[in-house]
């Protein structure tokens, strides 16, 4: 049985065994002692704690999985000895340094692999140019100039920047930032990095008095910084306007659909044309028709819900499209599309029989038809008209034929139509027949 306590390391809470805590506390205390005389001690210690926390996370340690003494010793061997922070080590420190070198010889002889990240600490817009500069070890100003010049070549620079913005991850953690520079996350590297950052402030002041390139670089930095601020302001305005527009469009669309379906289902449909009324009544009169209407409503509503969620995400600067939510909406929408399509096709024939008259044109036979209560079968040379009984009330079964036929001449009204004559109708290409 071991005592376990909770600690906050690098703004992350861990459960840690008491023995492991004692070892880790002694390690951090020694680091603070070696940094007592330096001005940047606070920044270095904060970086060290974040780096150790990230290494514990990589070992899958958290509030539920306690850090062990073995974990602490492994992290300490990767980070190095606190003596690496000492400025100008004395001879008394040499044995400790030798011990540290023996424990980290494998890691020190192996060059770390440089990785591509977006450097948002030195970003004008999204840190793409500065990240590429870190990867290729060149001045960020040069990369930014390349992007600006490439804009004039069919806008390829803008497209490339946007793609890299979407694809390249941001260097968020201490480990990411060191990997971006091709450095190991050790005490020595952290100390050197912080010292370089402090020295670079003095170097920038000295560069103001050096050469033409230094002056140009300062001017370009100022220009890019101004453009970056302008872009960020415009991006905020566009994001706000786009979010409002998407929310309003989605909300109005949903309200319109609800109103439309309320009128269809709850009113007498007097606002619709007669044909539309008949079609809607036909759909409401069968279970399949009701399923078709409901699934169509779901199919049209889900994209509008997506618009509202997207608008809210833009306004809140937070992605509300969780994996579970996105998958659920996608699955429901696909099912609704399939059901709506299938049930609608099953209702087409029944609706067309009741809606009539229906007009149509068949270009291959060059005739127009107006059909009442029946079906038409035809090809390029033969037209058979088969009435479908019973005929609806107040709609007499009447066919008017115009043209020359095998059994009829000139114009004639057949009421009711002669079945023997109807079956014998043959067309001549180019003639027009009207069935009224």
Q: What per-residue confidence (pLDDT) applies to 69? A: 87
Range of the domain at 247: 239-355
Q: What is the pLDDT of residue 399?
A: 42
Domain membership flag for residue 114: no
The answer to the question of residue 428 being in a domain is: no
- pTM, two decimals, is 0.46
| Distance of alpha carbon 343 from alpha carbon 337, whole angstroms | 10
Check residue 330 and give left, alpha or beta (phi > 0: left; psi -120 to 50: alpha). Answer: alpha
Domain assignment of residue 207, yes or no: yes
User: Which residue's structure tokens are 């540290």?
Assistant: 100
205 shares its domain with 184 = yes
In a domain, residue 115? The reply is no
Is 82 domain-assigned? yes
Q: Which residues of the chain have a pLDDT value below 50?
A: 87-109, 201-202, 205-206, 208-209, 357-391, 395-436
Spatial CB neighbours of 158, under 8 Å, sequence gap ≥ 6: 151
Residues 126 and 166 in one domain: yes
What pLDDT does 156 receive?
Answer: 76
In a domain, 65, yes or no: yes
Domain shared by 209 and 274, yes or no: no
Residue 137, domain member (yes or no): yes
Last residue of a domain, one of 52, 75, 109: 109
Identify the pLDDT of residue 215: 59
Residue 213 has a pLDDT of 53
Q: Do 201 and 225 belong to one domain?
A: yes
Residue 69 and residue 63 in contact, taking contact as beta carbons nearer than 8 Å: no
* DSSP helix/strand/coil, 280: helix
**Domain finish residue from 234, 256, 280:** 234
89 neighbors 83 (Cβ within 8 angstroms):
yes
Q: Per the structure, how many domains does the chain have?
A: 4
* Residue 431 lies inside a defined structural domain of this protein: no
State the pLDDT at residue 362.
39
């Amino acid at each position: 049985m071991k005592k376990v306590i909770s600690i906050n390391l690098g703004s992350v809470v861990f459960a840690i065994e008491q023995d492991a805590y004692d070892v880790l506390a002694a390690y951090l205390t020694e680091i603070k002692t070696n940094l007592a005389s330096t001005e940047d001690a606070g920044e270095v210690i904060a970086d060290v704690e974040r780096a150790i926390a990230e290494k514990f996370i990589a070992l899958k340690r958290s509030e539920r999985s306690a850090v062990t003494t073995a974990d602490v010793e492994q992290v300490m061997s990767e980070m190095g000895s606190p003596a690496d922070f000492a400025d100008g080590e004395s001879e008394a420190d040499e044995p400790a340094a030798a011990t540290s070198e023996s424990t980290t010889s494998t890691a020190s002889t192996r060059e770390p692999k440089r990785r591509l990240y977006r450097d948002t600490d030195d970003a004008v817009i999204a840190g793409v140019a500065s990240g590429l500069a870190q990867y290729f070890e060149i001045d960020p100003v040069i990369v930014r100039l390349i992007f600006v010049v490439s804009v004039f070549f069919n806008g390829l620079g803008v497209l490339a920047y946007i793609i890299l913005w979407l694809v390249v991850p941001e260097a968020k953690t201490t480990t990411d930032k060191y990997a971006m520079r091709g450095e190991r996350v050790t005490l020595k590297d952290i100390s050197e990095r912080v010292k370089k950052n402090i020295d670079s402030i003095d170097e920038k002041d000295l560069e103001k008095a050096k050469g033409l390139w230094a002056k140009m670089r300062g001017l370009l930095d100022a220009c890019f910084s101004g453009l970056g601020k302008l872009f960020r302001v415009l991006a905020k305005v566009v994001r706000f306007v786009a979010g409002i527009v998407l929310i309003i469009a989605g909300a109005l669309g949903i309200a319109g659909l609800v109103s439309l379906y309320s009128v269809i289902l709850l009113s007498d449909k007097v606002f619709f044309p007669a044909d539309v009324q008949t079609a809607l009544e036909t759909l409401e009169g069968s279970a399949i028709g009701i399923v078709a209407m409901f699934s169509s409503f779901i199919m049209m509503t889900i994209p509008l819900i997506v618009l509202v969620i997207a608008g809210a995400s833009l306004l809140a600067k937070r992605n509300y499209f969780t994996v579970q939510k996105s998958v659920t909406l996608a699955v429901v929408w696909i099912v609704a599309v399939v059901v709506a399509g299938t049930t609608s096709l099953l209702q087409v024939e029944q609706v067309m029989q009741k809606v009539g008259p229906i007009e149509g044109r068949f270009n291959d036979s060059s005739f127009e038809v107006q059909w009442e209560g029946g079906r038409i079968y035809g090809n390029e040379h033969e037209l058979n008209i088969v009435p479908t009984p019973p005929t609806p009330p107040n709609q007499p079964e009447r066919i008017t034929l115009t043209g020359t036929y095998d059994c009829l001449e000139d114009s004639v009204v057949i009421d009711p139509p002669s079945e023997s004559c109807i079956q014998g109708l043959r067309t001549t290409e180019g003639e027009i027949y009207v069935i009224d």
